[in-house]
Chain A
Amino acid sequence: MEPLLLTLRLAAFTSIVLTVLGAPVAWLLVRHRSKLTAVIETILLMPLVLPPTVLGFYLLVLMGDAGPLARAFDIRWAFTFEGILLGSVLFNLPFAMAAFGETFRAIPSDLLDTARTLGASRGRIVREVVLPLAWPGLLAGATLVFAHTIGEFGVVLMIGGSIPGETRVLGIHIYELVQGLRFDEAHRVAIVSTAMAFALLLALRLTEHRWRSHTA
């Protein structure tokens, strides 16, 4: 039960952090194209092609007791929940940016321009035009991140190890059960994990459908 709750907590925090910080960045990248945009987009896509262990290794070095973050800011997040949260956020960045970017690109710029000619400030346009049209897409992106985090393994193992209640998430728990030849328990946990993945993907399909009917 503990690994499940920890995994859900990690997935929820990752989704929230990525939606709050990632959505505005995705908006800027879609609406303000410049020569720098392609470089930034490439950097944000890197976690997609890097082996999770490589990303995990760099983060471990960065956040370890003797790492630069410890020396400069006294931040020691290796083998902590904060550490695996940062790893999870970075690992999910490409998925979130792709989903949010697609959502924002689907909003015709004519709507935003016309809203300005109708006297609306930028803040009002975000509140009353962008968010009402984008929320199903943002929710779909957040759900995708949530579902993806539940299956995390490599990054978390490298940064967090397997500390019960702190960093031992579902994937690592199953791995350890199998290593200990406790197949019956591994089966039970794996079924829970599979059922959650199915439910989340189904929810994702349904919100995407709603989003498309909204923006069409």
Chain B
Amino acid sequence: MEIAYRLTQPIALSVQLHVRGLTVLLGASGAGKTSLLRAIAGLLPADGSPFHGIPVQKRPVGYLPQHYALFPHLSALGNVCFSIRHLPHEQRTRKAMQLLESLGVSHCAQRKPAALSGGEQQRVALARALAREPEILLLDEPLSAIDSPTARDILGWLSRTVAELGIPVLAATHDPLLAAAADRIAILHGGRIVQQGGRDAIMSAPEGVAAARLLGYTNFVGFADANLVGYQTGGVEYAGTDFLAFRPERAWVVTPGAACPEPGGLAVRVRCTVDSVSRPYASVNVRGYALSALLAPDLLSSGAERGSELELLVPEQAVRVLPAESA
């Protein structure tokens, strides 16, 4: 589905994006993700297509706000039935039960939302939205109300369900975890979509520092200082404002002189001092730059202490050179 929306209040946005499968709209807090979803649902005044001019009540859109907004005085079944009130009672109950069953929460049908877990609430809210047979599902921060151990389960379930449903889903988040499970990623920054495409393409090649941060890159070094952290700039063309970026899970902290745990050439091999350890990651200091990377397997078992002198290795294929301004 092609979405083109322009809004001015409460934030100026002009957005064009393609939604297919599970598309994650990635943006920092305050970037306007929620406003865009609300505009598509018809809850905020905006110009755009599709659905322009259709009143909220009639839009074929399933909207799940951040905390799902289940009606607390109705049972799970009552919540689902709420959205299909136009059907006769028996048919309504049958359809609602079928949906609850297909989402694995039929055992909760008679329970009130307060008696459901975060994951169950989400499924009931999804069943309620699906009952109206929407053309698109809009999910606002679908993992925010779920504690992190369950988030991974929910994520797996969510992407499977989306694939089975065959309805395009636009999920707004700032969470790289959700982005990693997406079919497509669109990055919202500065009131527009600065980059969009298939997940792998976007994850491996963010076009700017802002996009990279949202995708889970945490290590940034101004290119002028690249040689300070041991990067060989020979042959790479760069601007003075460029940044060197890599993900913590694509770099290694090893004992001095040790080989890199993954094959391939190295872009960086440099001495570092351990600042802190949060297994499997270590935060290290390289000439004033605080960077984080995975601990090599031997250090993971023997333990690396704060203050130890070790080496930071970054494989060639893990390094991106990013302009600061394009995102």
Q: Which A residues fall within an 8 A CB radius of B?
A: 108, 110-111, 113-121, 124, 128-129, 132-133, 214-216
When C-beta atoms are compared, the residue in chain B nearest to A118 turns out to be B83
Q: Is the CB of B43 within 8 A of A118?
A: no
Q: Is the CB of A110 within 8 A of B65?
A: yes
Q: Is the interface of A mostly helix, strand, loop or mixed?
A: helix
Interface: B269 (CB within 8 A) = no
Nearest CB of chain B from residue A156's CB, rounded to whole Å: 39
Task: Determine, out of B56-64, B161-169, B272-280, B300-308, the stretch whose residues face the partner at the interface.
Answer: B56-64
A132-B73, A133-B72, A216-B114 are contacts. A113–B43 as well, Cβ < 8 Å? yes
Q: Is the CB of B57 within 8 A of A110?
A: no
Q: Is the CB of B58 within 8 A of A119?
A: yes
User: Roughly how many angstroms separate A121 CA and B72 CA in the complex, as a whole number?
Assistant: 19
Residues of A within 8 A of B82 (CB): 115, 118, 120, 128
User: Roughly how many angstroms separate A215 CA and B71 CA in the complex, as a whole number?
Assistant: 10
Nearest CB of chain B from residue A27's CB, rounded to whole Å: 18
Residues of A within 8 A of B62 (CB): 117
Residues of B within 8 A of A214 (CB): 72-73
Residues of B within 8 A of A114 (CB): 63, 65, 69
The count of residues in chain B whose C-beta lies closer than 8 Å to any C-beta of chain A is 26
Q: Which of B43, B73, B129 contacts A116 (CB 8 A)?
A: B43
Ordered by A's residue number, 18 sampled pairs between the chains whose C-beta atoms are within 8 Å are: A110-B65, A110-B66, A111-B69, A113-B38, A113-B65, A114-B63, A114-B65, A116-B43, A116-B57, A117-B42, A117-B59, A117-B62, A117-B63, A118-B128, A119-B58, A129-B71, A132-B73, A133-B73
User: Roughly how many angstroms separate A214 CA and B112 CA in the complex, as a whole number?
Assistant: 11
Residues of B within 8 A of A216 (CB): 72, 114
Q: Is the CB of A117 within 8 A of B71?
A: no
When C-beta atoms are compared, the residue in chain A nearest to B56 turns out to be A116
Nearest CB of chain B from residue A199's CB, rounded to whole Å: 28
Q: Is the CB of A119 within 8 A of B83?
A: yes
User: Roughly how many angstroms separate A132 CA and B59 CA in the complex, as a whole number?
Assistant: 26
Residues of A within 8 A of B73 (CB): 132-133, 214
User: Roughly how many angstroms separate A115 CA and B42 CA in the complex, as a whole number?
Assistant: 12
When C-beta atoms are compared, the residue in chain B nearest to A124 turns out to be B85
Nearest CB of chain A from residue B71's CB, rounded to whole Å: 6
Interface: B132 (CB within 8 A) = yes
- Further contacts, 15 of them, CB under 8 A, given A110-B69, A118-B83: A110-B66, A115-B71, A116-B42, A117-B42, A117-B56, A117-B59, A118-B128, A119-B83, A119-B85, A120-B82, A121-B57, A133-B72, A133-B73, A214-B73, A215-B72
Within 8 A of A (CB), among B246-263: none
Interface: B41 (CB within 8 A) = yes
User: Roughly how many angstroms separate A129 CA and B72 CA in the complex, as a whole number?
Assistant: 9
